[in-house]
């Protein structure tokens, strides 16, 4: 299916010009995923299983167990959204920056488009969307 404004949503996050708050299709899906990653598990009222555990795992010694826990968390977040399919997830610890980067290869299901996307989770609580490292 070609891009044609199938999904429509609104966001003022990071907007300088708040008169342009409309997001469509893939940009909306990315914003929704980032919003999901921005909510710590247990913070959402009446849905304590919604959100991510990654912010708490940033302070743990990075090993295979932590890496697997992050991968499983990412898989569960992607499973929540039927508009996107997670194909590959890769977790990288950056000791110098005290951050964890999650690289993903995804398919936007309604559009049959594959793309690499990545998020950097920082110990200060910020999340940055990056170009993928692979």
The predicted-structure confidence for 30-64, as pLDDT tens digits, reads as follows: 989 999 999 999 999 999 999 999 999 999 999 99
Q: Does 120 have pLDDT greater than 70?
A: yes
Q: Does 4 have pLDDT greater than 70?
A: no
Per the document, the length of the chain is: 134
State the Cα–Cα distance between residues 21 and 16, nearest whole angstrom: 10
| 94 CB-near residues (< 8 Å, 6+ apart) | 100, 101, 120
Query: What is the overall mean pLDDT for the chain?
Result: 86
Classify strands 84-94 and 99-108 as parallel, antiparallel or unpaired: antiparallel
- Lowest mean pLDDT segment, chosen from 7-11, 26-30, 57-61, 93-97: 7-11
CB 109 within 8 A of CB 87: no
Q: Which CATH class is domain 8-130?
A: alpha beta
């Amino acid at each position: 299916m070609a891009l044609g404004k199938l999904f429509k949503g609104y966001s003022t996050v990071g907007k300088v010009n708040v008169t342009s708050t409309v997001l469509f299709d893939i940009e909306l899906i990315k914003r929704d995923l980032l919003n999901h990653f921005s909510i710590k598990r247990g913070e959402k009222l009446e849905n304590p299983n919604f959100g991510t555990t990654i912010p708490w795992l940033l302070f743990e010694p990075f090993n295979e167990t932590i890496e697997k826990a992050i991968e499983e968390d990412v898989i569960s977040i992607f499973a929540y959204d039927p508009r996107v399919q997670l194909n590959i997830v890769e977790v990288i610890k950056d000791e110098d920056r005290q951050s964890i980067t999650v690289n993903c290869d995804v398919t936007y299901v309604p559009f049959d488009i594959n793309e690499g996307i990545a998020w950097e989770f920082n110990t200060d609580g910020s999340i940055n969307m990056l170009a993928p490292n692979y």
